[in-house]
Amino acid sequence: MQTDYSNLAQTIAALTEAETDTVSLMATLACEVHHADDRFDWTGFYRVTAPDLLKIGPYQGGHGCLVIPFSRGVCGAAARTGQVQLVPDVEAFSGHIACASSTRSELVLPVFNGAGALLGVFDIDSNQPNAFTTDDAEQLSCILADTFRNAAAPF
């Protein structure tokens, strides 16, 4: 099943209308995105909890790493650079952190509020190699921007 991003965006917008609590938004978005596509094996957030530090937030799937510094891994790279990380083969990503041995590819998107504050990163893992496309990244970036535009800064 491929993601129907138009329907997904409408569903998330309806569920999160007028909500500003960052964790509530993250929990809802992680759940909806996770169940929208069979490629998505682990779907969740790493929240900025201190300068240059991410901690696991709401997610769907198996366990995740509890703490990720901005200096390590795919999630750290997205937080550090503020740019989407589309990784077709995690084994080829220097410094990849293997939170789950089943992960083969990964898409990580930085999450900003409307004021431009980095709230965290949205991480999607797949047990399939080369599972994600630039269309996935663009569609999810739009959903994230719409969902978190009124969210409070992390600290």
The tens digit of pLDDT for each residue in 29-80 reads 999 999 999 999 999 999 999 999 999 999 999 989 999 999 999 999 999 9
Q: Regarding predicted confidence, which is higher, 91 or 128?
A: 128
Token pair listed for 132: 């994600």
Which amino acid appears at position 129 of this protein? Answer: P
Tell me the pLDDT tens digit for each residue of 97-106: 777 777 889 9
Tell me what pLDDT residue 137 has.
97
| Closest among 117, 86, 105 to 22, alpha carbons compared | 117
Answer yes or no: pTM beyond 0.85.
yes
Cα(142)–Cα(83) distance, integer angstroms: 14
In order of start, what are the domains of the chain with their CATH numbers?
Answer: 5-148 (3.30.450.40)
- The single residue listed with the structure tokens 């809802």 is 28
Tell me what pLDDT residue 1 has.
62
The stretch 8-23 carries a mean pLDDT of 96
